[in-house]
Amino acid sequence: MAIAQLARRCLYLNGKRRPTMKEVAAELEAIQGSSVQDNLGDTEHHSIVEVSEVYDFASISGSICFDNITTSSSFDVDPLLRMDLKLLLYITFSLLVMAFAVPLSKPNCPEKCGNVIIPYPFGIGQECSANPSFTIDCRNFTNYKRPFLSSLDLQVLEVSLRRGIVIVNQPVSPMNCSTQQKELSLGKSLFRTPFIFSRFYNVLIVLGCKNVVTLLTNETTAGVCMAVCRSSGYTPTDTSCNGVDCCKTNIPQLLQEQQIIYRSSDTNTRFCGYAFLVHEIWLLNDYKKYKGLQVNLSNPFDKKFVFAPVALDWEFPLADFELGICRNRSYYSSDGRILYNSSTMLCLCKNGFDGNPYLKHGCQDIDECSNSNLNFCSYGKTCINKFGYYKCQKGKKSRVQMAFIAIGAGLGALILLVVAWRSYKVIRRRIKANRKQKFFERNGGLLLEQQLSSTQNGVERTKLFSSKELEQATDHFNVNRILGIGGQGTVYKGMLSDGRIVAVKKSQKVDEDDLEVFINEVVILSQINHRNVVKLLGCCLETEVPLLVYEFIPNDTLFQHIHNPTEEFPLTWEMRLRIATEVSLALSYLHSAASVPIYHRDIKSTNILLDDKYRAKVSDFGTSRSVSIDQTHLTTKVIGTFGYLDPEYFQSSQFTEKVTSTALVLSWLSF
């Protein structure tokens, strides 16, 4: 019951009524009445990461350094209730962080005026500010609102807790030319206010080269600025204000009034440039916006240039004494060199906390475990957030972590498998391409190209089919597609992708000595265009054995019709005579009408096919030879079918156009 009441008090909306962590720890110890050492043996880390403030006006080369302050809050409870109490505290603090994340202004006070965030001790109205010096007047304009610092009547551009500055728009006006030494006050005086002109962020700038300007503080010289005039015809390319037509000088510490003495070298015009205090970032961001300042650099003037941003340091007493700390400001350069130490104080939340230290209970714990960039727990350790610090604890991975690891491993394995499969496909495709090229060369592809190139129109008549196309046409050379088996190879029936029925001749495995026979048949048939000669459509040399593609002749061979006649197709004497005539005409064409005489050397009834109209088609030119026109005979190795060979050719190896095998075919037809 007492724990529930304590948890309820921790959730009060009014921060003043909520107990501090020390009070929570003391009450819990009193509830338990005894304590044990709670030591998990883990390494404790105090946060050294400061969350960057999103309200910074600009990034300046430098930093503010403070001593590392560590804080921890622990209490010991009975082991039986330890887990319940930890769960209670975790829920309590989680709710507090969600409901009151980084409070910047007083409770029930607006945090913004227009686009400018107003943190405490500043506040919109006297009820929301620490005192009248920090009161902000949120003024309405046509379509927007603008905050003004009431005590100085200057527009506020930004308020930064982390840098301890407020950036305001200060009025600027040109200097009247005067050859006599003249004293002038710039902008607003900060006397009797908690503000001073920031030495780190501001510089005194003099635009133009007509004046010598001396900055005074307490009636003494604090700096002198004089620019030289640039030669005519030169166009500036930078905004460094390096002493030519523009100069700048640093200001002293604790400056609250801008008092200068100047003297002009020229009085031909009314105005002689500008002298003003400004935030140094103005040179980079806004200087080029004023076109009038660029027209005449030696004596610039722009009627629109009436305000310039100035950074004011401020300080205020700390309110969150438990979790906040105040130190003198120390400014460092980007390479670590100290620029100067300021006497003004700046308050921040201690390491491990963030928020507004000027509010009571304004600093809140940072959950370093919610972002891996905020903790240094190595792989395999679990980050456990504590109040003001965190622990890196060894232990078993949570189910979520194990699930992520499993998913990652699965995705990695899948990606590896896909990459391996793609690599395998690429390698296999490359191997196939190399094999096809090897087969092409071995099957006489180079010789065929040479023969066809030397034969007129040979390339146009012969198509080179791919092995994939013929495999699909013959159903991967299915045995059911076999039309016949001869001495030169096996013939398959196939259908091309365009619907044509073809006969694919798959040659037997040939030696290099027999390649000439195969190439000879391709070259010969590529030259023949006769209705009684089987037409060669193309060939394929990418496979282990060569492939020839012919037109399909549907009605079998003459041998089949002579020796196995059918009632559907009786071989009449007229048909026999016509077939004999067609074969004679085909051979006559080959011997005399063709561009190159061709001797078949193996005329027989099995090499004569009948088409759908039972016209004769001479086929199987594997043993054929072409001869020169002036040759009367050809001496070769005896090739052909015994029983059909010319006796003279068999004895002398001299083949002539007088073909004896034709007489044997005629004899078969006469029976």
Each residue's pLDDT tens digit, 421-454: 999 999 988 888 888 888 888 777 777 777 767 6
| Boundaries of domain holding 656 | 554-671
Distance CA 381, CA 8 (A): 34
Domain stop point among 528, 552, 576:
552
Residue 348 CB contacts under 8 Å (≥ 6 apart), including other chains:
66, 161, 162, 324, 325, 326, 357
Instruction: Tokens 């227009």: give the residue.
Output: 114
CA–CA gap between residue 85 and residue 79 (Å, rounded): 10
* 94: number of Cβ within 10 Å: 12
Give the CATH number of the domain where residue 450 resides.
Answer: 3.30.200.20
> Which string of b and e fits 50-86 if b means at least 16 CB within 10 Å?
eeeeeeebeebeeebebeebebebebbbeeeeeeebe
656 versus 93: which is more confidently predicted? 656
Neighbouring-strand partners of residue 195: 314
| pLDDT-based confidence at residue 9 (cuts at 50, 70, 90) | low
Task: Say how far residue 393 (Cα) sits from the centre of its chain.
Answer: 36
Same domain, 634 and 574: yes
Asked whether residue 343 is domain-assigned, the answer is no
Work out the burial of residue 140: count CB atoms within 10 Å of its CB; fewer than 13 is exposed, 13-18 middle, 19 or more buried.
Answer: exposed
Is residue 253 included in any domain, yes or no?
yes
Task: Choose the weakest-confidence range: 156-160, 232-236, 257-261, 372-376.
Answer: 232-236
Residues 6+ apart with CB under 8 A from 474: 481, 492, 493, 494, 504
Mark whether 602 is an active-site residue: yes
Mean pLDDT of 257-279: 88
Supply the DSSP symbol for 53. Answer: P
Contact 386, 376 (CB under 8 A): no
3-state secondary structure (DSSP) of residue 242: coil
Whether 94 and 233 share a structural domain: no
Q: Do 180 and 262 belong to one domain?
A: yes
pLDDT for residue 156 is more than 90: yes
Q: Are residues 591 and 664 in the same domain?
A: yes
CATH number at residue 595: 1.10.510.10
Instruction: Note whether 36 and 81 are same-domain residues.
Output: yes
The predicted pLDDT at position 234 comes to 56
Instruction: Please report which confidence band the pLDDT of residue 78 belongs to, taking 50, 70 and 90 as the band edges.
Output: very low
Residue 335 lies in a domain: no
Whether 428 is in a domain gets the answer no
Segment 308-324, tens digit of pLDDT: 999 999 988 887 778 88
Asked if 370 and 252 sit in the same domain, the reply is: no
Task: Give the pLDDT mean for 288-305.
Answer: 88
Domain assignment of residue 157, yes or no? no
Query: Is there a domain that residue 626 lies in?
Result: yes
Assess if residue 159 is contained within a domain: no
pLDDT tens figures, 345-374: 888 898 888 889 998 888 888 888 888 788
Q: Is residue 197 located within the same domain as residue 181?
A: yes
Q: What is the CA radius of gyration of the chain?
A: 52
Determine the average pLDDT of the residues in 662-669. 54
Residue 669 and residue 632 share a domain: yes
Percent of the chain with pLDDT over 90: 21
CA–CA separation, 6 vs 93, rounded Å?
13
Distance between CA atoms of 444 and 472, rounded to whole angstroms?
24
Neighbour tally for 448: CB within 10 Å: 23
Q: What's residue 373's pLDDT?
A: 81
Query: How many angstroms separate the CA atoms of 71 and 261, rounded?
Result: 52
CA–centroid distance for 558 within its chain? 71
pLDDT, mean of residues 558-566: 81
| Last residue in a domain, options 501, 518, 552 | 552
Please identify, among 504, 534, 552, the residue that sits at the C-terminal boundary of a domain: 552
The length of the chain in residues reads 671
- Is the CB of residue 357 less than 8 Å from the CB of residue 94? no
User: What pLDDT is attached to residue 232?
Assistant: 62
**CA end-to-end distance (rounded Å), the chain:** 125
Highest mean pLDDT among 253-257, 379-383, 575-579, 584-588 belongs to: 253-257
User: Which pLDDT belongs to residue 487?
Assistant: 67
Residues 194 and 264 in one domain: yes
> Which residue reads 């130490």 in tokens?
341
* pLDDT at residue 464, rounded to an integer: 79
366 and 378 in a single domain? The answer is: yes
Residue with tokens 């083949």: 655
Instruction: State which amino acid sits at residue 601.
Output: R
Identify the band that residue 57 occupies on the pLDDT scale cut at 50, 70 and 90.
very low
pLDDT beyond 70 at 70: no
Residues 496 and 562 placed together within one structural domain of the fold: no
Q: Are strands 482-485 and 489-495 parallel, antiparallel or unpaired?
A: antiparallel
pTM beyond 0.75: the answer is no
Domain count, the chain: 4
546 and 560 assigned to the same domain: no
Residue 111 domain-assigned? no
Question: Which is it for strands 135-140 and 123-124: parallel, antiparallel or unpaired?
Answer: parallel
Torsion angle of the four alpha carbons 119, 125, 128, 131, in this order, in degrees rounded to the nearest 10: 90
Whether residue 56 has pLDDT greater than 90: no
Q: Which of 602, 611, 620, 630 is catalytic?
A: 602
Predicted pLDDT at 137: 95
